[in-house]
């Protein structure tokens, strides 16, 4: 968890984000296929949120969310080979932030459109992108191959109030969840000071964290039970048995993964 925490801290303070418009143009390959990928900004997302765009697949009539990414940029057909995208892909986008990137493309198949995704890191030794099947679009219906990965939920959850602030670090190692948490008096340090503060903060291990990915219900040891919810493209941990400074159920927002 210590190494993971330092990785989170580094990502939190990276800058130089890539901006893009809300729509991406489909590559000119097969005029009979009208599917395209588009980037939809997440309402209310701020600079500290790693996920600020939702990738949608649309055929002009139906549109559904495919995945979340921090930045968004179209990949021109002329650049497909550079990013190991097949020449017959009909649309592709990329995201790069804090030394790692996501690449996704759609390619026609006999009975629909296959969507494939790759995640790469600037430090990885193997240069193969390793694209994996992510979802399948058939007649306006999206079939996810792993629905739980649409919203990555491991990361640093935070809430800040005048009387108290809260941090909850959630990670998954194999099939086992690991969690650390901390409650502070008063407001969090200023953003420019938070990096050094996080390195020295004594987050306490939360034993026995368990999550039901189908219902979103979780149990967090001494922090009690709660529910994982998504609102307007953002992920929150809502604790039923723990109250915030104002007496309402404690609600922490995912700020970084």
Q: How many domains does the chain have?
A: 2
The tens digit of pLDDT for each residue in 67-103 reads: 888 899 999 999 999 999 999 999 999 998 877 789 9
What letter would DSSP give residue 22? S
Residues 134 and 172 in one domain: no
Rounded CA-CA distance 28/146 in Å is 29
pTM of the entire predicted model: 0.54
- Same domain assignment for residues 171 and 196: yes
167 and 100 in a single domain? The answer is no
Average pLDDT over residues 230-244: 81
Q: Which domain holds residue 42?
A: 15-149
Backbone angles phi, psi at 193, to 5 degrees: -100, -15
Sign of CA dihedral 188, 45, 199, 5: positive
Query: Percent of the chain having pLDDT more than 90?
Result: 24
Residue that has been written with the tokens 């390959």 in this structure: 29
The answer to the question of residue 89 being in a domain is yes
Which of 94, 118, 149 represents a domain boundary (last residue)? Answer: 149
Domain edge (last residue) among 149, 170, 196: 149
Domain ends where: 149, 164, 199? 149
Largest CA distance in the chain: 60
Alpha-carbon radius of gyration of the chain = 20
- 210-229 per-position pLDDT tens digit: 988 778 899 999 999 999 88
């Amino acid at each position: 968890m210590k190494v993971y925490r330092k990785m989170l801290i580094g990502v939190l303070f990276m800058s130089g984000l890539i901006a893009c418009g809300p729509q991406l143009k489909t590559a000119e390959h097969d005029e009979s296929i009208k599917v395209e990928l588009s980037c939809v900004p997440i309402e209310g997302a701020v600079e500290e949120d790693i996920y600020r765009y939702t990738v949608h697949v649309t055929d002009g009539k139906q549109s559904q969310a495919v995945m979340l990414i921090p930045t968004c940029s179209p990949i021109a057909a002329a650049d497909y080979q550079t990013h190991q995208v097949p020449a017959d892909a009909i649309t592709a986008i990329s995201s790069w932030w804090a030394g790692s990137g996501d690449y996704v493309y759609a390619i026609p198949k006999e009975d629909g459109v296959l969507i494939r995704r790759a995640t790469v890191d600037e430090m990885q030794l193997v240069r193969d992108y390793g694209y994996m099947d992510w979802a399948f679009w058939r007649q306006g219906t999206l079939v996810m191959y792993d629905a739980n990965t649409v919203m990555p939920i491991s990361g640093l959850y935070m809430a800040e109030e005048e009387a108290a602030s809260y941090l909850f670090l959630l990670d998954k190692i194999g099939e086992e969840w690991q969690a650390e948490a901390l409650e502070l008096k008063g407001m969090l340090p200023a953003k420019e000071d938070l990096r050094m503060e996080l390195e020295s903060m004594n987050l306490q291990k939360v034993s026995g964290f368990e999550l039901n990915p189908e219902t979103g219900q979780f149990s967090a040891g001494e922090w009690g039970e709660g529910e994982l919810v998504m609102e307007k493209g953002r992920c929150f941990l809502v604790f039923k048995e723990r109250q915030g400074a104002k007496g309402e159920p404690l609600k922490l927002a995912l700020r970084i993964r």
